[in-house]
Chains A and B, each alone.
Chain A
Amino acid sequence: MQRLLFALLTVWLALTASFFLLRLIPGDALSAQLDLGGASRAEIAQARADMGLDDPPIAQYIRYMSGVVRGDFGYSLIRLFPVSDLIAQRFAPTALLALFAMSLAVIWGVGTGILATLNGFWGIMGRGMMTLSLATPLYWTGTLAIIAFSAYLPYSGVDEWQAWILPILVLAFHSMGGIARVAFANIQAVKSLSFVIVARSKGLHPRTIMRRHILRVALLPVLPIISTQFGFLLGGAVITETLFVRVGIGRLLLDSVIAQDYPVVQGIVALSAMIVAFLSLITDYCAYLADPRLRWMDNNTP
C-alpha cells in the first residue's frame, strides 16, 4: 500500500516536472505551423486563446491534471486529434514489439547468464555473447541486421509478420546483455553461500542444486532489471521505429519533439512514467513471492 502511494507520487512528480519544463520552451508548434500557413498575427493569437495557451501556467496545469485523471490528455497542437487517440492508434505495434522482444530477451539473457558461469568452451561463448550485447548500440546491430538480411526478409512496416522478425531479434539481443550480466554475477555469488554448500554436502545432483537452490535465489535480482530494461525498450522504440521504418509511439514521440507538439510529448511521457512505475511495483511483488527469505523476514520482524 505504501509502495503504491509512493509510485503514484512519483508519476505525479514526473508529470508535473515535464509539464513545466515543456512550457519553458520558447515558441510552440501552433505558432510555427500558422506562420508557415501564412496566418496573420491576430489569427495566431486567436487560436492560442481558443486553446487556452495564454492562461496563467497554474490554470493550465490544473486544467491539464484534472483532464489526466479522467484520461483526457488534451489535443495535439498540429494533428487536430486528441492525444489519447493518437497514442492509442500507435500503442499496439510498440507494445507488442516490446513484449515479444522482452520475453525473448529474458529467456536469452538468463540462458546466456547460466552459460557464462560454465567452464571451457561454452563459458567463453556465453561471456563473449554477453560482452557483445553490452558493447553494441541498438542502432548499429539493427543496421548490421538490415545489411545482412534485407535480401531475405522484409524489414520495414508492421503489416507482414515477417517484418517483425528482425526488430524483435535486434531488440531482444540488445536487452539480453543487461539481464545476462545480472544473472551471471548472482549465480557466481550465490554458488558460495552456505545453503548451497549444505545442499552439495547432502550429495544432491549438481543440476538439482542449480535448479532448486541456486537459480531460485540468484534470478531474483533479474526481476527489477526487467522493469528497467522495459523502460529502455520504450526509449529504444524511438530508435527501432526509425531504424526499421515502423509506426509506433517512438516515431510519434520523435516527430512531436521535432515539431514542438508538447501535448503529445507530454502524453507519451505520462504513459511511460506510468508503465515504469507499474512494472516496478509488479516486479517488487514477484520478488516477494519468489524469495522465501523475504517472506520470512516479513513474518518474523518484531
Chain B
Amino acid sequence: MTRKIALIWLVCLCGIAIFGAMLAPYDPMTNHENAVAQAPSLTHFLGTDGLGRDVFSRLLAGAGRTLGISAFSTLLAIGIGGTMGIIAPLLGKFGDSSLVLVMNTLLAFPPLLMALILLTLLGRSDMALIVAVGISQVGMTAQVIRGVTRSILGEDYILGARACGARWWHIAWVHIRRGIAPTLGAQLGVVFCYCLFNSAGLNFLGVGVGIGVPEWGAMLAEGRSIFRTAPHVAIFTGLLLMSVVIAVNRIIDD
C-alpha cells in the first residue's frame, strides 16, 4: 500500500520535473512587491519568499533542475562505479588490487568535500554540478558492486561455467549481470538520494547555480536567511525534498 503511494508520488514528481515550469501559477522570477514574505494564503498557495516570489511556483519550476541534476549524476556514478566494481574482481589479483587502491583513494575524500573541489575545477554550470556530484559517489558505488560481484564469483555455478570454458566476458555478461541486478537497483536509489542531498547542498552553500535561479537547495538557503520573517519557505522546500527521499527509500526497501 505505502509502496503504491510512493510509486505514484515518484511518477508525479517526474511529471513535475518535466512540465513543472508550465504548471506554475505565477512566473517563478517575478517579484510581487506588495506581497513580500507572506504566509500561505489563497492567492499564494505556499506563501511568498523574501523578494515576494511565489514559493509554490518556484518549487515547481525548480523541480526539473534539482531532480534532473541528481538523476544524471546518479547515472554517471553508477556507470563508472558499477563498471569498476564488476571489472575489478575479474582482472586477477594485480588488477583487482590496483582498482581497490583507486576506490580507496576516492573514498578518502568525503563526498561533499570532493564535489566542492571538483566544482572549483569545472566552473559553475549545471553540467559541472552533475559531474562533480556524480564523481564524488563513484568510490562508494564501486566498492559495493565489487563486494557483490566477488560473492557471485565464489558461487558454484561460476566454477561450473569456468569448467565449461566460458570466457570472462561471458561470465560478466550472463552470470554477473543477472546476479547483480537487485543490488544495482537498490544502489541506484541510494546514490540518487545522496546526489540529491549533495547537489542541493552545494546550492545551499551558494557554489552551484546562479543567484535567484529556482532550485530547491538555493531556496533552502534563502529560507535559512529569512527564517524569522518567512519560516514557511524553508519548511515547505525541505518537506518536498524529504518526501522524494522517503518515496525512493520505500521503493528500494524490497
Contact = CB atoms under 8 A, between A and B. Distances in A.
Tell whether A and B belong to one assembly.
yes
A146 B204 contact: no
Interface stretch (B20-28, B43-51, B112-120): B112-120
A246 B159 CA distance: 57
B105 interface: yes
A137 B200 contact: yes
A258 B207 contact: yes
A60 to B, nearest CB: 17
B224 A143 contact: yes
A14 interface: yes
Contacts of A219: none
A235 B111 contact: yes
A143 B112 contact: no
A253 B231 contact: no
Interface in A123-149: 131, 134-140, 142-144, 146-147
Interface string B84-106: 00000000000000000100110
Given A143-B238, A242-B205, A18 B224 contact: no
A238 B112 contact: yes
Contacts of B82: none
B97 to A, nearest CB: 9
B77 to A, nearest CB: 16
B245 A144 contact: no
B223 interface: yes
Interface stretch (A19-27, A48-56, A289-297): A19-27
A1 B200 CA distance: 41
B197 A137 contact: yes
A284 B207 CA distance: 36
A105 to B, nearest CB: 16
B101 to A, nearest CB: 7
B113 A253 contact: yes
A260 B227 CA distance: 31
Contacts of A136: 238, 242, 245
Contacts of B110: 231-232, 234-235, 272, 276
Contact of B109 (A25, A239, A243, A269): A269
B234 interface: yes
Contact of A239 (B101, B112, B117): B112
B246 interface: yes
B121 interface: yes
Contact of B227 (A22, A25, A147): A147
19 contacts: A10-B105, A13-B101, A14-B105, A18-B117, A21-B117, A131-B249, A134-B193, A134-B245, A134-B249, A139-B200, A139-B221, A140-B242, A143-B223, A143-B227, A147-B231, A147-B234, A147-B235, A238-B116, A254-B205
Interface of A: 6, 9-11, 13-14, 17-18, 21-22, 24-25, 131, 134-140, 142-144, 146-147, 150, 228, 231-232, 234-236, 238-239, 242-243, 253-254, 257-258, 260, 265, 268-269, 272-273, 276-277
